Each structure stands twice: as structure tokens, then as C-alpha cells.
Amino acid sequence: MLVIFSSFLSPLNSFLFGYLTHEHFDQRMALKKQIIHTKTSMNGLMFFYKSYYIRNESFLQENLVLMLGFLTSNNVAALDFLCYNEPNKLRRLVMEKGKIIQGIKTNTSVSVFVSTLFYIFLASFFIEGGLWIGSELVGPFSQVIGFLVEFFSPGSGTAGVLEFFYHYLLYYELLCFVFILLPFLFWVKVIEKNPLSSLGFVKRNWLKYLAWGIMISLLQMGVIALVYQGSGIGSFELNELSLEPLLFILGLFPFWLLQGGTEEVATRGWLLTRIAARTNLPLAIAISSSFFGILHMGNSGVTFLSVLNIILDGVLAALLFIYTDSIWLVVAQHGTWNYVQGNLLGFQVSGTGADASIFRFTMGSGPDWLTGGAFGAEGSIITTLVLLLSIVIVYRLGERKVKFDD
């Protein structure tokens, strides 16, 4: 039977779920919840479905005429057929929200638009506030360092203290990200009254995800370095390092994990999940990834391409977060990405130097869009291609996992 409705979702709920039998009650309730949260037109919803799923579903290929007819005439015969025969495919129509997002308690007394603006403002406030606190504590921290240096090495004087402090300044700068992390943890536990698992801190497979995140970044940056070296865009030479600088470099890795992990908690663990809990995943990915890119617009050597690459990296991290339903993989991927860039390969890290490195990087001649310029490898078209390929691979693997789970 061909049924024609308005192009908006809300009047369709009773019709759609009336076709599902009692044995599909749980699926019906989960699907209804997701559709209610999707404030979009039927045309937009089916266009989303067509964009993401038609290409890979034999079921839809068999009913392509019906689907195209729906897209052009606003009738819901195709959706009717899907809802009755393929409830799992329809459930995935708005992308699967994992257990983390589904379990988040949010304030629904305000509109989605207002709450989204509030989430963006609060994330910005915590990030900028944390960086400000870190900068204000430089003086007291240097005094503590001076006391320790004088205690263990009497007679070193002011010059010795300053030399020691600036030598390890990168450690302090990365450690200061804890002043960003703590407000998010406080807000989630005390104000929202959500568990820390709502940020992605789950025990399940956490060590495996950390290992996978490290390997993904090593592979990505390895490909980028090989292209640079092989094409003459840049060259790498092994630095002759004594034990002290080598230990300095190795000791930075957990601090880079803290820095990268904090940015992931802010943008993926908190901002993405809270927006997704009120809206849908595509919108949450777009907003959180764009916000992630905007955060880097004040960095030295920034270009349009470098911001685009940061946004693409945000999309990749969002997909990894969603498909694993855990923060641990993206914590490792982000931290390792920065560490390998700066302290292994000698690149600038988003326009910032990383002090000592295993390799010394020498940039060849060429435009900034190719070499990355002062921003580093993240400003290069080579990185763009690597990130796009990574997104496609992760998306395809993630959808295969969803299909298998269904």
C-alpha cells in the first residue's frame, strides 16, 4: 500500500512502528528514539540513507526504483517496506549511537540549538581557561624548580635554574593540559552526574585500543615520511644523540598522550557525545571536527589546508571513537601522531617546535601546500590524502562491523 505523508518525521512515528510486530519491540523503541532525535525532513533522511548505505546494500539495489520514487515524490513506500522487513537497516539509517551516547543524561528543557551553543561555549571556556591557568603558573613553577635545583646542586645560581627550566619547558607545557582535563572531569561527574565512562573511559579492551592507536599513527606518519623522502619534498637524517637527549625524547611520550588525550576528551569524548545525544551523529561529527580545526587557527604558519587537515583528522578520530565506543584508541592515536611528528621525525607539530628529535628534517623547495610550510606535515596535501584514505578505510571497516553485529 502506498502511503503519502508530510515530509517531516514526527507525524510518521505511529505509522512506521505499527508495522513492526511485538517481537521487535526493543528494536522498535530504539529506532523510535533515534528518529525522534533526528529533526530533519524525510527527504533529507532518505538522502542520508542513500548517501551512506545504498551503494553497499543488495537489498536496496533490488528496490532501487522504489527508493528513487520516494526521493522524488515524498512517498514513504520504501521506508514502509524497510521498516517492516529490514528493521536493522532502518535503525542504522541515522547511524548507530553507541552505548556511551545512549547512556548520557542531558538537559532536555532547552532547545537543541541553545544546548549546542552552550556545549561549544563551555568547551571553549574550559580549554582557554586551562591554558590561561598553565601560563599563570609558570612563575610559581619556576620557583619550585629553582628550589629543587638549589637543593640538589647548591651554587648553581639563577642562570643554572633558567637553563634547567627552559630545557624542560616542553614537559611543563604538555603537563599543563591537565588544567583543561580536570574541569571536564569535574563537570561530567558533579554537574552532569554522568559516569566518566560517558567520556569513553571504559575498561573494555583499553590496552588493545591503546596499542592499535599507536600502530595507526606510526603507519600514517611512516607513509607521510616515505613520500616526503622519496619525492624530494624533504629529507631525514639520523641525529647523533647521547643518552641524555635520548632519555629526554623517550620521556616525552606519556606527556604527549596527556596532551592529545585531553584534546580528544574535550572534542570527541565530551563535545561530540553531548551534541549527538541531543541530535544525530553526522551533525555532531561535523560540529566537533570543525571546532577542533578552529582551535588550531591561531597557531604559527596556519593555512587553509592545515585547518582542513585538522578537521579531517577530527572526522577520523570521531569515527574511531564511535566504532570502538571508547576513548582509548583516539587518545593513543592523537598523542602518538604528535610525538612521532615532532620528537621522532623532526617536523613542526601544528606550527610548534618539539625541541629534540631522533631525526633531523630538512625541508626541500616547493609551495607550502606541498611541503606543509611552517605548520609542519599537517599543512601538506600529502597528509590530506593520507587522512582521506584513513577515513575511507575506517568507515568501511566500521560499517562492516555494524553489519556483522546486526
Query: Which residues share a beta bridge with 75?
Result: 4
Q: Where are the domains of the chain?
A: 10-94, 202-405
pLDDT digits (tens), the chain, 406 positions: 333 333 333 333 433 333 333 444 444 455 444 444 443 444 444 444 444 444 344 344 334 333 433 333 333 444 444 444 444 444 444 456 677 888 888 877 888 899 999 999 999 999 999 999 998 988 777 777 777 766 666 665 555 555 666 667 888 899 999 999 999 999 999 999 999 999 999 998 999 999 999 999 999 999 999 999 999 999 999 998 888 889 999 999 999 999 999 999 999 999 999 999 998 899 999 999 999 999 999 898 999 999 999 999 999 999 999 999 999 999 999 999 999 999 999 999 998 877 789 999 999 888 999 999 999 999 999 999 999 999 999 999 987 765 444 4
Q: Taking the alpha carbons of 263, 266, 269, 272 in that order, is the dihedral positive or negative?
A: negative
Alpha-carbon separation of residue 331 from 99, 199, 255, 258 (angstroms): 19, 12, 12, 8
In a 10 Å sphere around its CB, with 0-12 CB exposed, 13-18 middle and 19+ buried, how is residue 369 labelled?
A: middle
CA angle 224, 225, 226 (to 5 degrees): 90
pTM for the full predicted model: 0.75
User: CA 389, CA 372: separation in Å to the nearest integer?
Assistant: 19
In a 10 Å sphere around its CB, with 0-12 CB exposed, 13-18 middle and 19+ buried, how is residue 281 labelled?
A: buried
